Amino acid sequence: MRAIGGVLLAAVVLPFACGASVHVLMIDGEETKGQTPAIKAILEIADVHPDVLTAPAKGNPFDPPFDRYKVVILNYSGEAWPLTTMAALEKYVQNGGGLVALASADAAFPAWTEYNLMLGVSSAPNRDKSAGPIWFYQNENVAFDSDLTGPAGKTQEPDQPFAVTIRNTEHPVTKGLPLVWMHATDKLAGDLRGPGKNMLVLATAHSDKDHGGTGRDEAVLVAVSYGKGRVFHTLLGNTEDGMACVGYQTTLQRGVEWAGTGKVTGRMPTDFPHESKPSLRAVETTARRVK
């Protein structure tokens, strides 16, 4: 994926700044670090300035200082980390640390049971029936099917914008957002697999069978309680347009603040998309990395 280029439009009112200091670590890998500058720039709009750490190749030591941070963002889809590092992240979230899993992180750690619990669901094809049932939204409720076989991740063709529907209007991340808003052209994953334990589906989108989808309403924003920790999991932002969508940017900013503080304090951006048309905002891309 190419990083988003360009500059912020001068006429756009910045969406919000987090009311509380949120110290953030973002971890990427060789496969995903091209996306990192855009993610960092999106967060900086909200006055969140993440440190960035690239995980080394498998077999090398990796000991991130999780406890220095309120939130860890995973933009990572690579090999398993050392067992001590995985255990440290597990402990960090159990004890109240915030975790934000980007869409890329769905493919990470398929054999790590506790990580799958943190995600709630995954769109990655390296999750089969053993990872859990297929989850979706049906008749105004979260539903699952334990009998369906095959891997996760049946994906609608990313050839058109699609509508996002808010399903939980009281959660801090989604409270006050338009009930339906148009998301820019993006991959929409279906056949989401996982344990689904302590999971709230915050928003869904319909996966169109005529465009290679499942024909079901699929989760696109998820919140999970894991021990004392809060996990925000977004399945949006798989394409350049998807990351440029103001709806994606706003929900990511809000998700990071909620994961770190349990609340969302900022106001809505004036250019948030509405029901009939997406809204895109280009971002500057610079990234400061942890030494």
- CATH number reported for the structural domain that contains residue 51 in this entry: 3.40.50.880
Whether 284 is covered by a domain: the verdict is: no
Whether 74 is covered by a domain: the verdict is: yes
Domain span holding position 239: 24-124+195-204+219-261
Instruction: Please give the average pLDDT of every successive group of 10 residues along the chain, which has 291 residues.
Output: 31 40 92 95 94 94 96 97 97 98 97 98 96 96 95 87 97 98 96 98 95 94 98 96 97 98 92 95 59 40
User: What pLDDT score does 137 carry?
Assistant: 97
Query: Between vectors from CA 153 to CA 203 and to CA 195, what angle results, nearest 5°?
Result: 65
Structure token pair of residue 54: 């690239």
Whether 89 is covered by a domain: the verdict is: yes
User: What pLDDT score does 16 carry?
Assistant: 42
The Cα 85–Cα 61 span in angstroms is 9
The residue among 187, 235, 179, 192 whose CA lies nearest residue 208 is 187
Whether 256 is covered by a domain: the verdict is: yes
User: What pLDDT score does 273 carry?
Assistant: 97
pLDDT in tens, 34-68: 999 999 999 999 999 999 999 999 889 999 999 99
The residue among 149, 163, 171, 146 whose CA lies nearest residue 262 is 171
Does the pTM surpass 0.85? The reply is yes
Structure token pair of residue 226: 């894991």
User: What pLDDT score does 19 carry?
Assistant: 43
The Cα 95–Cα 275 span in angstroms is 39
9 CB-near residues (< 8 Å, 6+ apart): 281, 282
Number of domains in the chain: 1
The residue among 44, 92, 53 whose CA lies nearest residue 71 is 92
Whether 61 is covered by a domain: the verdict is: yes
Whether 274 is covered by a domain: the verdict is: no
Whether 33 is covered by a domain: the verdict is: yes
User: What pLDDT score does 10 carry?
Assistant: 26
Identify the DSSP state of 57: P
User: What pLDDT score does 156 carry?
Assistant: 80
Whether 229 is covered by a domain: the verdict is: yes
